[in-house]
Amino acid sequence: MRDFIVSRGISGAVSLFIVTLLVFAGTALLPGDAASALLGQNATPEALEAIRRNLGLDQPLIWRYLAWVGHAAQGDFGQSLASGRPVAEVLLPRLGNSLLLASVAAVLLLPFAIGGGIAAAIWQDSWFDRVLGFTSMLFLAMPAFLVGYILIYVLAVRLGWFPSMSVAPLFGGASAWAKILALPVISLVIIGQAHTMKLTRTAILAVLATDYVLMAEVKGISRRRIILRHALPNALSAILSISILTVAYLIVDVVVIEIVFSYPGLGKLMVDSVAYRDLTVVQACGLLFALIFIGMNFLADLLALLVNPRQRVPARGA
């Protein structure tokens, strides 16, 4: 088990290392460095030179990479090229907002989607299963912003229940936040549930197709008992992984949804910074998203392992 965790950890770390290389190489190797991005096309050579020295761009590449990684590891992502403020200072409140949005969505989505997936698997091929199958096909084909705008049109414009934009009420208290979070959260739940439900259904069906479930059926055990005592415990590790991955995907869906609702989160910050070519902020956001995503995947593997003892000795035994 320890070997497995270590090997997964190493593979995650290698991915992260390559990602830092790619993110860094992206900004370092391509024509038009940060200095010219900062000053625009009319900059004088002297001004460019000064800025380059200021940003450390005259140092050797490897040195700059190490310095960048070293600082980033300590939470120092340098200064925003657009505003001059430290990137971490810009980033942190946005990160908090995004995590709030994603976690509220996850708390609402997971029980609903996993319950739906289990029900669909138990009543396979029933009308319930078919309706769920059809709607998830529909939602999976929709671009995320379509869901968001339909909600805005119906719930905000026609019915007037919610504001259509997340105008930040920084100190507005819980009810103001709830109003602002409502539509983005509902969008995220609708977008995310289809995938989660489908994966859960497949995982349960895989367990229901095993020999021991057949055996239990032959012994005449009630359907209810088979599902609760035999199938679910064995599907638990899969369901846990699916839950964690759902959260990871939610954090990505957040990018588009934040733009739809002008929600002041990390995704909106990143997209806005791309528009301003504020490369240090883009880099930091990219790295943060990658870190969260890789971390979530690692956590999913780890939890699956803890819940399912058979996976702890993958090489031996079989």
Of 270, 280, 275, give the one whose Cα is nearest residue 28. Answer: 280
Cβ atoms of 104 and 111 within 8 Å: the answer is: no
- Residue 182 touches another protein, criterion: CB under 8 A: no
| Adjacent-strand bridge partners of 86 | 79
Helix (H) or strand (E) holding 23: helix 2-29
- Residue 164 touches another protein, criterion: CB under 8 A: yes
Q: Give me the least distance between CB of 225 and another protein, in Å please.
A: 33
Alpha carbons 258 and 240: distance in angstroms, whole number: 27
In this structure, what token pair is assigned to residue 289? Answer: 């998203």
- Residue 135 touches another protein, criterion: CB under 8 A: no
Q: Give me the least distance between CB of 267 and another protein, in Å please.
A: 9
- Residue 23 touches another protein, criterion: CB under 8 A: yes
Question: Which residue is it, tokens 């340098």?
Answer: 78
Q: Give me the least distance between CB of 160 and another protein, in Å please.
A: 11
- Residue 186 touches another protein, criterion: CB under 8 A: no
Which residue in 6, 137, 167, 313 binds another protein (CB under 8 A)? Answer: 137
Helix (H, G, I), strand (E, B) or coil at 122: helix
Which residue in 157, 167, 178, 313 binds another protein (CB under 8 A)? Answer: 157
Question: Which residue is it, tokens 């001004």?
Answer: 47
- Residue 138 touches another protein, criterion: CB under 8 A: yes
Which residue in 9, 26, 70, 169 binds another protein (CB under 8 A)? Answer: 26
Q: Give me the least distance between CB of 157 and another protein, in Å please.
A: 5
Quote the Cα angle for 174-244-269, to 5°: 55
- Residue 112 touches another protein, criterion: CB under 8 A: no
- Residue 83 touches another protein, criterion: CB under 8 A: no
Which residue in 110, 152, 199, 245 binds another protein (CB under 8 A)? Answer: 152
Interface with another protein (CB under 8 A), residue total: 53
- Residue 133 touches another protein, criterion: CB under 8 A: no
| Residues 238 to 297 in contact with another protein, rule: CB under 8 A | 252, 255-256, 259-260, 270-271, 273-275, 277, 279, 282-283, 285-286, 289-290, 293-294, 297
Phi, psi dihedral angles at 314 (to 5 degrees): -70, -40
Q: Give me the least distance between CB of 156 and another protein, in Å please.
A: 8
DSSP code string of 38-88 = HH-TT--HHHHHHHHHHHTTTS-HHHHHHHHHHHHHTT---B-TTT-SBHH
Alpha carbons 282 and 39: distance in angstroms, whole number: 17
Q: Give me the least distance between CB of 41 and another protein, in Å please.
A: 12
- Residue 66 touches another protein, criterion: CB under 8 A: no
Q: Give me the least distance between CB of 11 and another protein, in Å please.
A: 7
Of 201, 216, 294, give the one whose Cα is nearest residue 251. Answer: 294
